[in-house]
């Protein structure tokens, strides 16, 4: 019965020694029950964690206690391990307690996705305004600079060239922001995610990720994704470029691509009343220095970047594309290990007119413009 519960469940004593762990607990601690039986909670959770005081209180008072939003993050368990804890004594077994760990990460991440989408909508309105209000004045400024350059001295011609180049840079920024205002329905079909990843990898190893090992761990049984192929190429090319830049100064750089089936997450697609599952998990991992703590929670918001010359729109656009597909993107990062995880839906029933998923031998499509990634 404990093994069937959809939450990590352990039995331990007041010293933290493991006596039982169900399958979800083995996954949570990334260790088998046999291994856990030789370890203590202190080997996985910081010694000052509220978990230990909660266990001791339950043993002392022989009662049940719970505590919400407890951070169990550690180098062993990883970051963003915010959970709800339920601790109860076992009358037949003195000094032993049952600990139920309820993960809050999914709900927290869904809330952040809504925040990212709201921020993207703000950029949508800003982009529409900029396209109308800025392009015309910038064209006038650039034209005037070109006229001045024809009669200017060599010294002044340098300044007019700067005016023209900066005008072009502003127009390019407006063009990039204008992508956020595109509200047209997405043209989608059944897409083989592995053909997309292989295509992106082929581009990366000949460009942004040259000389960086890229390994794959794919689940060949995955069904097609109902998506726009070109947009998925843009998403993963962005993520791999970011990863390549992150490991540029790492002694032994590595990028890893994975695909897997993870049932259990469901949400409502924006604009509909349908609830769909998000069992398709695709990740881009790197062993770089990690995302700084102060921006990790807002990494998908527009204008958030760690690059001196970055605009902060790359990951915001990635989040918009995934959100438009009814999916979720999240980031988990610590020094030496960063994961960008994309969760995508599979539809209960695909229309009969959908084209078959392409195979890796028939990869087609054009190479998208390499947008700047932040």
Q: Using one digit for the tens of pLDDT, what is the confidence trace for 29-58?
A: 988 888 998 989 999 988 888 889 889 888
Q: How far apart are CA 198 and CA 196, in angstroms?
A: 6
Judged by phi (left if over 0) then psi (alpha if -120 to 50, else beta), residue 344 lies in beta
| Burial readout 231-260 (b: 16 or more C-beta within 10 A, e: otherwise) | bbbbbbbbbbbbbbbbbeeeeebebbbbbe
101 Cβ contact list (under 8 Å, min separation 6): 7, 8, 9, 10, 25, 28, 72, 83, 84, 85
Say if domain 9-103 classifies as CATH 3.10.580.10.
no
Residues 311, 302 contacting (CB under 8 angstroms):
no
Dihedral in degrees, nearest 10, Cα atoms 113, 115, 120, 126: 180
pLDDT for the residue 215? 94
Radius of gyration of the chain (CA): 25
- Compute CA distances 252 → 211, 292, 333, whole Å: 11, 21, 18
CA distances from 12 to 20, 77, 89, 302, 320 (A): 7, 18, 10, 45, 44
Kindly tell me if the per-residue pLDDT of 261 is higher than 60.
Answer: yes
- pLDDT tens digit string along 281-311? 899 999 999 888 777 777 777 666 665 555 5
Whether residue 226 contacts residue 190, with contact meaning beta carbons closer than 8 Å, is answered with yes
Strands 337-344 and 280-286: antiparallel
Q: Round to whole Å and give the CA distance between 88 and 80.
A: 25
pLDDT in tens, 225-250: 888 888 898 899 889 999 999 898 88
Map tokens 């404990």 to a residue. Answer: 2
What does the block give as tokens for 131? 């396209």
Domain ranges of the chain: 9-103, 107-181, 189-362
For residues 138 and 86, give the distance between their C-alpha atoms in angstroms, rounded to a whole number.
61
- The tens digit of pLDDT for each residue in 264-285 reads 555 555 455 555 567 788 999 9
What tokens does 69 get? 């939003």
Q: Is the pTM of this model over 0.85?
A: no
Residue 242: C-alpha distances to residues 250, 286, 320, 371, 373 (Å): 14, 9, 17, 11, 6
Q: In this model, does residue 143 exceed pLDDT 50?
A: yes
pLDDT class of 370 with cuts at 50, 70, 90 = very low
Q: Two tokens at 328?
A: 């979720």
* Bridge-based pairing state of the strands 9-13 and 93-103: antiparallel
* φ, ψ (nearest 5 deg) of residue 165: -65, -40
DSSP tag of 325: T
Is 227 in contact with 325 (CB distance < 8 Å)?
yes
Position 137 scores a pLDDT of 78
- β-bridge pairing 9-13 and 18-21: antiparallel
Beta bridge partners of 9: 100
With bands split at pLDDT 50, 70 and 90, how would you rate the model's confidence at 7?
confident
Query: What's the Cα-to-Cα distance from 257 to each of 190, 199, 201, 247, 367, rounded to whole Å?
Result: 21, 13, 9, 15, 20
Pairing between strand 255-261 and 214-217?
parallel
Across the range 115-126, mean pLDDT stands at: 53
Domain 189-362 has CATH 3.90.320.10: no
The pLDDT of residue 150: 84
> In the predicted model, what is the mean pLDDT of residues 259-264?
76
Q: Tell me the three state secondary structure of residue 320.
A: helix
Write down the residue that tokens 């998403």 correspond to.
235
Phi, psi of 350 (to 5 degrees): -85, 145
Q: Is the pLDDT of residue 218 over 90?
A: yes
Question: Cα–Cα distance between 191 and 196 in angstroms, integer?
Answer: 8
Averaged pLDDT of the chain:
77
**What CA–CA distance (Å, rounded) separates 245 from 202?**
17
């Amino acid at each position: 019965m404990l093994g069937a519960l959809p939450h990590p469940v352990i039995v331990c004593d007041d010293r933290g020694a493991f006596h039982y762990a169900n399958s979800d607990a083995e996954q949570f601690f990334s260790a088998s029950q046999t291994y856990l039986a030789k370890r203590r909670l202190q080997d996985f959770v910081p010694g000052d964690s509220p978990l230990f005081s909660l266990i001791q209180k339950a043993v002392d008072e022989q009662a049940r206690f719970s505590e919400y939003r407890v951070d169990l993050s550690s180098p062993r368990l990883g970051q963003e391990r915010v959970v709800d804890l339920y601790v109860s004594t076992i009358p037949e077994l003195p000094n032993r307690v049952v600990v139920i760990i309820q993960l809050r990460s999914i709900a927290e991440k869904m809330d952040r996705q809504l925040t990212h989408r709201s921020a993207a909508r703000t950029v949508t309105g800003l982009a529409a305004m900029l396209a109308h209000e800025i392009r015309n004045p910038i064209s006038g400024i650039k034209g005037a600079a070109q006229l001045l350059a024809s009669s200017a001295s060599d010294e002044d011609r340098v300044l007019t060239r700067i005016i023209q180049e900066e005008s072009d840079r502003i127009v390019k920024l407006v063009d990039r922001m204008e992508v956020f205002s595109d509200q047209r329905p997405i043209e989608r079909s059944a897409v083989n995610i592995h053909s997309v990843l292989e295509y992106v990898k082929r581009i990366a190893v000949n460009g942004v990720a040259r000389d960086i090992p890229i390994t794959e761990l794919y689940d060949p049984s995955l069904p097609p994704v109902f998506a726009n192929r070109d947009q998925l190429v843009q998403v993963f090319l962005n993520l791999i470029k970011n990863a390549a830049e992150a490991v540029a100064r790492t002694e032994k750089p590595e990028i890893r691509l994975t695909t897997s089936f993870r049932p259990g997450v469901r949400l409502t697609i924006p604009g509909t009343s349908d609830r769909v599952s998000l069992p398709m998990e695709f990740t881009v991992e790197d062993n770089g220095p990690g995302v700084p703590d102060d921006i990790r929670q807002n990494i998908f918001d527009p204008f958030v970047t760690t690059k001196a010359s970055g605009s902060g729109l790359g990951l915001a656009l990635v989040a918009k594309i995934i959100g438009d597909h009814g999916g979720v993107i999240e980031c988990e990062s610590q020094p030496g290990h960063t994961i960008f995880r994309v969760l995508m839906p599979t539809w209960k029933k695909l229309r009969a007119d959908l084209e078959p998923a392409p195979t890796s031998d028939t990869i087609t499509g054009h190479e998208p413009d390499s947008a700047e990634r932040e």
